[in-house]
A and B are shown apart, each in its own frame.
Chain A
Amino acid sequence: MNKKEYLEKLESELGQMSYKDVRDIMADISEHFDEGVAHGKTEDEIAKGLGNPVELAKSFKEGGTVASVLQKRQAPVQNAKQKDTTASTLFVILFNLFVAIPLWIAIVTALITVGAIEVGLITGLVALIVGIPTFGNFLGAGICLAITILLVVIFVAVLLILVTKYFIIGTGKYIAWNKKIWKEGL
């Protein structure tokens, strides 16, 4: 392979690099040929010494220019991410302070209240059942009332268990989400 053939092959393999990069590389390799000839070598020897133009083009594409392009592109993205994290962290803190935590306390309070009502209902129900034999004429009404209260107790118990379960799952998920935001931003 002579100089011209080698450079043509190299140029075609460099394809997608910028015009300036290709021109610079061509100048470098062309200079290498000229120096080699000045040192008494033939173009064919020099071409062999340089190695396969396809391999050389590959090294050029993997090397400097690609890395510098990546560096330039990565830098602003990182900056933007940094800003994002600060803003989103601040947002999360404020959101937790003014929305999430008060809401959480309100739900816990509501659950405790419903729980207390449930305990009250059960106590009342037990007292009613104990007292039923003394009802006399109102026995039928007493049993009806007892059954009604029992149904309410069961309904509230099921509701309470379900709500508590999802509340605990929700709290766990919210904490996980918080951690993620803390680390990666919105």
Chain B
Amino acid sequence: MNSQFKKGVLDMCVLAMLDGNDSYGYDLADSLSRKIQLADGTVYPILRKLASEGYVTTYLKESQNGPPRKYYHLTPDGKRKLAGDRKEWREFAEAVDKLIGGIS
């Protein structure tokens, strides 16, 4: 898929993956790259950006086998951001579908 398409919505996708359950980098990278074809590394700069914007916070949590994992948690600000992005995306996607005659 066109990488410009992805770039715009990846922030929203990462926020959505964190909605309801905290997760750690490897897991997020793995599930994101399974659904949308992209490099596993992509998720890390996005996570840092979201953290610096205050949409997610991080904490360390022991894992059963191995060193502690860095978990990401959606903040109330992040939830609001996600709700807004979601609404905008739906409206946009709907309008584009109509334009290109997508959904039958």
Is B31 positioned at the interface, with any CB of A under 8 Å from its CB? no
Task: Please indicate which of the listed interface residues B26, B38, B50 has the most CB atoms of chain A within 10 Å of its own CB.
Answer: B26
> Taking the complex as formed, is A25 at the interface, i.e. its CB lies under 8 A from any CB of chain B?
yes
Which residues B49-86 have CB closer than 8 A to chain A?
Answer: 49-53, 65-67, 69-70
Check A32 against B52 for contact (C-beta < 8 Å).
no
- The answer to whether A49 has its CB under 8 Å from any CB of chain B is yes
Query: B39 contacts A50, CB within 8 Å?
Result: yes
Q: In the complex, which residues 158-173 of chain A have their Cβ closer than 8 Å to any Cβ of chain B? A: none
Enumerate chain B residues within 8 angstroms of A136, measured Cβ to Cβ: none
Task: Flag if A49 contacts B44 (CB, 8 Å).
Answer: no
CB distance from A149 to the nearest CB of B (A): 79
| Count of residues in B whose CB is under 8 Å from the partner chain | 25
With a cutoff of 8 Å between Cβ atoms, the chain A residues found around residue B13 in the complex are none
A28-B25, A31-B26, A34-B67 are known contacts. Are A63 and B49 too (CB-CB below 8 A)? yes
Complex Cα spacing A29 to B48, Å: 12
B1 → chain A, closest Cβ, in Å?
15
Contact A29 B45 (CB under 8 A): no
Contact present for A64 and B26 (CB under 8 Å) = no
Among A29-88, those with CB < 8 Å from B are 29, 31-32, 34-36, 38-39, 46, 49-52, 55-56, 59-60, 62-65, 67-68
A63 vs B26: C-alpha distance in the bound complex, in angstroms?
19
Task: Given A31-B67, A32-B29, A68-B52, verify A63-B45 contact (CB < 8 Å).
Answer: yes
Q: Is there a chain A Cβ closer than 8 Å to B16's Cβ? A: no
A59 & B42 in contact (Cβ 8 Å cutoff): yes
Q: Which residues of A have CB within 8 Å of B66?
A: 34-35, 38
